[in-house]
């Protein structure tokens, strides 16, 4: 009787004559040779991407099922809602200006690390400098960079190891020396089932009279379906003097991207109001949301209890978590909780669910802190590049989403 090797699970599964005869004996009157598709789907939806890609080989109907957009959406939803200990995608610097990406699984799920090495594979040959923006929607990572001398974005699914390049040309409208900032966003329009990339080109204008610096922002949106860029005009944003100040503190929430910035509303206004500039991916509209003044000095946007939240820190060893109870209503900012007393922490990176907070300590080590139990878990350093300074982190849930057309690459 053949015996399989012991798998990692605690049960010993035996495959061979014994169970087959057992099965015939105990078999119910269900005479179907295989499970009906709806039942099969319920099982397959629970499998990780690697297994599903392999099982496409089982039979043609399985391959069709796994590639079906409805199944892909169902699979993603299942893993987004059922995952208790999500993996974390971490962006960090390994040397000055050299970005590295790691996929860190949760300590309770093994805590293993996978380095997403762009340089060593086909994408590395394309992407010579990756500059900014790191967002992850539905298992797709979006990175802005310079490819073959051109500006572009990469949309990459590390679970299926395939991606797509979206080139763009910098706007000729503003003289290069006035270019003072470039900001990006990546999102998903649920209404049109479309992925979008947003590019904000900022340039400075100094006003001679009162030497207040005015900022002009041009907004461009790329639609993956339409495969083209559109410039957005005439929004209220254009009438305001806004300077985005996003550096690893923005967040994508509920189909809306949120940047942090300053608003200088009146000339002679010495006061820079801190604001959130949000962009709704579906309706393609902007909104300004103000912060209370007490959010000082440092802020990182987050999600807490399905609400937009803000992690405020920098004064002492405590971290305040504020929640905007009613989205868009500035008065509804409420101090939800205070996390602390944390020693040796440099700064918070992200909230994981409502229970854990990911932090960077003074030694540039990632630390996971459980708010309720106050337990600290140091994320393993094995597998990390020798020098790695974490800049930001996003919860990562793998998916089967893929793109066709255009410049597609494999990694």
Partner 1 sequence: MSNTSENPKPSSSSAKMTLKTSDNELFEVEEAVAMKFCTVKQYFEDEKDSDVAARGSTTVIPLPNVHSAVLATLISYGKKLPQSNAVADNHEEEETKKKERKKYEQGLLKNLMPGELLDLISAANYLDFKEGLEFFNQALADHIQNKSVEYVRKFFGIKNDYEPHEEEKYREEYAWAFEGVDED
Binding site for partner 1 (CB under 8 A): 4-5, 7-15, 19-20, 22-23, 26-30, 32-35, 39, 42-44, 46-48, 50-51, 53-60, 161
Cβ closer to partner 1: 34 or 70? 34
Cβ closer to partner 1: 17 or 225? 17
Cβ closer to partner 1: 17 or 335? 17
CB of 62 to partner 1, least distance (A): 8
Cβ closer to partner 1: 54 or 95? 54
Of 133, 180, 138, nearest to 152 (Cα)?
Answer: 133
Cβ closer to partner 1: 43 or 343? 43
CB of 354 to partner 1, least distance (A): 17
Q: In this structure, which long-range contacts are made by residues 356-360, counting pairs with CB atoms below 8 Å and at least 24 apart in sequence?
A: 357/311, 357/319, 358/88, 358/393, 360/390
CA distance 291 to 299: 10
DSSP string across 194-229: EEEEEEEEEEEEE-TTT--EEEEEEEEEEETTTTEE
The contacts of residue 145 (CB under 8 Å, 6+ apart) are: 127, 128, 129, 130, 131, 132, 151, 152, 153, 154
Task: Reduce the secondary structure of 302-361 to three states and give it as a string.
Answer: EEECCEEEEEEECCCCCEEEEEECCCCCHHHEEEEEEECCCCCEEEEEEEECCCEEEEEE
Report how many helices (DSSP H) and strands (DSSP E) the chain contains, helices first: 6, 26
Cβ closer to partner 1: 6 or 226? 6
The contacts of residue 45 (CB under 8 Å, 6+ apart) are: 71, 74, 75, 78
Spatial contact of 171 and 201, defined as CB atoms under 8 Å apart: yes
Q: List the strands of the sheet with 356-361, edge to edge.
A: 345-352, 356-361, 366-370, 376-378
CB of 339 to partner 1, least distance (A): 22
Residue 126 CA from chain centroid, whole number: 22
Tokens representing 103 are: 């996929």
**Cα torsion angle, 100, 105, 110, 111, sign:** positive
CA distance 200 to 231: 10
CA distance 372 to 379: 19
CB of 83 to partner 1, least distance (A): 13
Cβ closer to partner 1: 86 or 261? 86
CA distance 300 to 133: 15
| CA distances from residue 168 to 75, 188, 230 in whole angstroms, order as listed | 32, 19, 11
CB of 87 to partner 1, least distance (A): 16
CB of 53 to partner 1, least distance (A): 4
CB of 277 to partner 1, least distance (A): 41
Cβ closer to partner 1: 32 or 343? 32
CB of 373 to partner 1, least distance (A): 14
Cβ closer to partner 1: 5 or 239? 5
CB of 6 to partner 1, least distance (A): 10
DSSP string across 19-30: HHHHHHHH--S-
CA distance 108 to 84: 10
CB of 323 to partner 1, least distance (A): 25
Cβ closer to partner 1: 46 or 205? 46
CB of 35 to partner 1, least distance (A): 7
Cβ closer to partner 1: 34 or 191? 34
């Amino acid at each position: 009787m053949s015996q399989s090797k012991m798998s990692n699970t605690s049960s010993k599964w035996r495959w061979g004559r014994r169970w087959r005869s057992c099965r015939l004996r105990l078999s119910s009157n269900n005479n179907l040779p295989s499970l009906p598709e709806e039942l099969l789907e319920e099982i397959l939806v629970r499998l990780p991407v690697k297994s599903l890609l392999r099982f496409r080989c089982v039979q043609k109907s399985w391959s069709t099922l796994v590639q079906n957009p409805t199944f892909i959406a169902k699979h993603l939803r299942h893993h987004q809602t059922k995952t208790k200990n999500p993996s974390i995608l971490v962006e960090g610097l390994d040397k000055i200006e050299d970005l590295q990406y790691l996929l860190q699984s949760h300590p309770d799920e093994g805590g293993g690390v996978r380095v997403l090495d762009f340089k060593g594979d086909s994408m590395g040959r394309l992407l010579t400098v990756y500059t900014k923006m790191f967002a992850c929607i539905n298992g797709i990572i979006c990175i802005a960079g310079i490819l073959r001398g051109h500006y572009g974005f990469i949309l990459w699914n590390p679970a299926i190891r395939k991606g797509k390049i979206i080139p763009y040309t910098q706007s000729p409208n503003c003289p290069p020396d006035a270019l003072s900032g470039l900001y990006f966003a990546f999102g998903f329009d649920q209404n049109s089932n479309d992925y979008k990339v947003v590019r904000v080109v900022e340039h400075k204008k100094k006003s001679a009279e009162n030497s207040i610096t005015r900022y002009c922002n041009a907004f461009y949106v790329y639609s993956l379906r339409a495969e083209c860029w559109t410039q957005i005009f005439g929004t209220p944003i254009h009438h305001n003097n806004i300077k985005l100040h996003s550096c690893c503190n923005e967040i994508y929430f509920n189909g809306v991207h949120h940047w942090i910035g300053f608003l200088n509303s009146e000339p002679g206004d010495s006061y820079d109001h801190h604001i959130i500039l949000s962009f709704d991916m579906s309706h393609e509209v902007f909104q300004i949301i103000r912060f209370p003044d007490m959010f000082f000095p440092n802020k990182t946007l987050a999600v807490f209890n399905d609400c937009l939240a803000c992690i405020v820190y920098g004064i002492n060893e405590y971290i305040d978590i504020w929640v905007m109870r009613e989205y868009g209503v500035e008065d509804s900012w409420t101090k939800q909780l205070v996390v602390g007393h944390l020693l040796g922490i440099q700064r918070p990176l992200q909230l994981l669910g409502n229970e854990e907070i990911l932090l960077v300590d003074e030694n540039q080590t990632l630390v996971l802190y459980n708010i309720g139990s106050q337990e600290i878990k140091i994320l393993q350093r094995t597998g990390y590049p020798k020098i790695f300074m974490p800049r930001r982190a996003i919860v990562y849930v793998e998916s089967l989403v893929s793109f066709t057309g255009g410049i597609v690459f494999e990694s």
